[in-house]
Structure 1
Amino acid sequence: MRELVFALEYEPGRNRVADALAGHPGTRVRSLSLHATDDHLWRVDHATGTPEALAAVEDAFTDGDYYADCLATEDCGATQTTRVLDRTDDTLVLYTDWEPTPVCASVPHIARDHLGDGVLFETRHEGRHYTWRLIHSGEGDVGAFFDALRDAVGDAARTELLRTANASAGGGTRADADGVGLSPEQEAALRAAVEHGYYESPRAVDAGELADHLDVPRSTLTYRLRRAEERLAKAHVARSVAGDAAPAPFE
């Protein structure tokens, strides 16, 4: 089994959910369940945030031009139903049932075409970054999958590979060669942050200045640093527990 983790970073105005999350920093949406067949997709998502942020997320999910992850650049005429399963002041659980048309495309359907049946999907949406974690047999063509994904996404979003690794028999993943599993982009951001004094106290540069140095949007830089810091912290804790073989959680 193989693990594949990547992110789509949406441009403003190209994804209603991304726009809603970008307007409410700290709000997150993660999938609780996601299943796809050739002609259907069902998912349950859990959102956390302020009441105002959750209202914006609900509006984005239920708006007619969202269509449950459809990557088509124009109105595809798909049929979608979204229902609220649970709501509190700071959480929202949404169920979505999507029936695509022949012109539609989505990450799960592209994955089925190139990675085979039995792919497991897990997602997290934060700001304009939509992170996908796929567990697949390893027998498909990952290169063809990414080519098809980039063609479907077009200029609506940037695609960034975060990690690819073998899945262990225990359900976790073996870390990449660096022992932590940072993507090249995460490692570059972390290295630049250290070299330019971002972690000094007081800081020698702020996030905006560091982003300018790397020629990436500030939101992209902070996203990469948070993911890198998360993996480093979890790797440190895992190593400190003798004999601990706990799987690395989705990031």
Structure 2
Amino acid sequence: MRSLVFALEYDPGCNRVADTLAAHPGARIRSLSLHATAERLWRVDHATGTPAALDDIEETFLTADYYADCLATDDCGATQSTQVLDHTDDTLVLYSYWERTPDCSSVPHIARAHLGDGVLFDTRHEGRHYTWRIIHSGQGNVGAFFDDLEAAVGTCAEMEMLRTTDTEVTRRYRHSNRDELPPEQAAALEAAVEHGYYETPRAVDVGELAKHLGVPRSTLTYRLRRAEAQLAARYVDTESMRDSPSTTS
């Protein structure tokens, strides 16, 4: 099995969910379950954020002209419905169902076409960044998948390949086989250290650092968080290995 991780960064006005999340820094949406057939897609999503953010996210899902995962830029005539399963002050759980038309396209349906039927999906949506993790057999055509995805996305979003790895790796030795940080994340991390972003007090804030690097603030924030998350995971794996009792024959 192979794990394929990439991100879409939506331009303003291209995706209502992305616009809503960009207006509420700190709000996030992650998939709890996502399934797709050739003609349908259904999923359950878990959103966190401030009460105002969750209210706006709910309204966006319930009133969107077309399904949020559809890559069409206009109403494609699909049948869709969204139900609120839970809504508290800090949590929102949504169930969405979508029946696509010939004019519709989505990441899961493009993935099924090129990577096979037995694909699994996990998503994280924060700001304008929509991160996808796809587990597939490794027998499909990844290049064709990205070609079709790029054509479907058009000018509405930029794609960033984050990593592709073999999922059949034991946890004990996972830290030694992890991919290096993607170049964009490594560059962001190096610049943050060089300019004193991690000093106390900070010598530069994320906005100033983003301006120096010539990238949007949201892009830099996303890259730093992804890099920090991977470094933290490596640290935890390393410490777990150290704490594990050695075995002798």
Greater Cα offset, 24-33 or 208-217:
208-217
Residue 42 of structure 1 aligns to a residue whose secondary structure is strand
Matched with 1:99 is 99
Matched with 1:2 is 2
Distance 1:149 1:120 in 2: 17
Matched with 1:159 is 159
Matched with 2:191 is 192
**1:46-195 correspondence runs (5 A):** 46-168=46-168, 174=174, 179=178, 181-195=180-194
Q: Cα gap change, 1:70/1:235 in structure 2, threshold over 3 Å: closer, same or farther? A: same
Matched with 2:216 is 217
Q: Which structure has the bigger radius of gyration?
A: 2
Structure 2: gaps (5+ residues): 245-249
Deviation at 1:13, TM superposition (A): 1.1
Deviation at 1:180, TM superposition (A): 5.6
Partners of 2:17 and 2:57 within 8 A in 1: yes
Distance 1:123 1:45 in 2: 9
Give me the TM-score of the superposition, normalised by structure 1.
0.90
> RMSD value over aligned CA atoms?
2.1
- Give the partner amino acid of 2:120: L
Distance 1:172 1:59 in 2: 44
Aligned length: 244
Deviation at 1:45, TM superposition (A): 0.5
Cα deviations by residue, 1:162-193 (Å, 9 ceiling, x for unpaired): 1111111659995686x464222111111121
Q: Cα gap change, 1:244/1:139 in structure 2, threshold over 3 Å: closer, same or farther? A: farther
Q: Cα gap change, 1:243/1:202 in structure 2, threshold over 3 Å: closer, same or farther? A: closer
Distance 1:81 1:40 in 2: 12
Matched with 1:249 is none
Q: Cα gap change, 1:175/1:67 in structure 2, threshold over 3 Å: closer, same or farther? A: farther
Structure 1: gaps (5+ residues): 246-251
- Give the partner amino acid of 2:204: V
Distance 1:176 1:12 in 2: 39
Distance 2:173 2:6 in 1: 15
Partners of 1:33 and 1:45 within 8 A in 2: yes
Matched with 1:201 is 200
Distance 2:134 2:181 in 1: 17
- Give the partner amino acid of 1:225: L
Partners of 1:29 and 1:48 within 8 A in 2: yes
Q: Cα gap change, 1:241/1:126 in structure 2, threshold over 3 Å: closer, same or farther? A: same
Partners of 1:211 and 1:221 within 8 A in 2: yes
Matched with 1:233 is 232
Identical residues among aligned pairs (%): 69
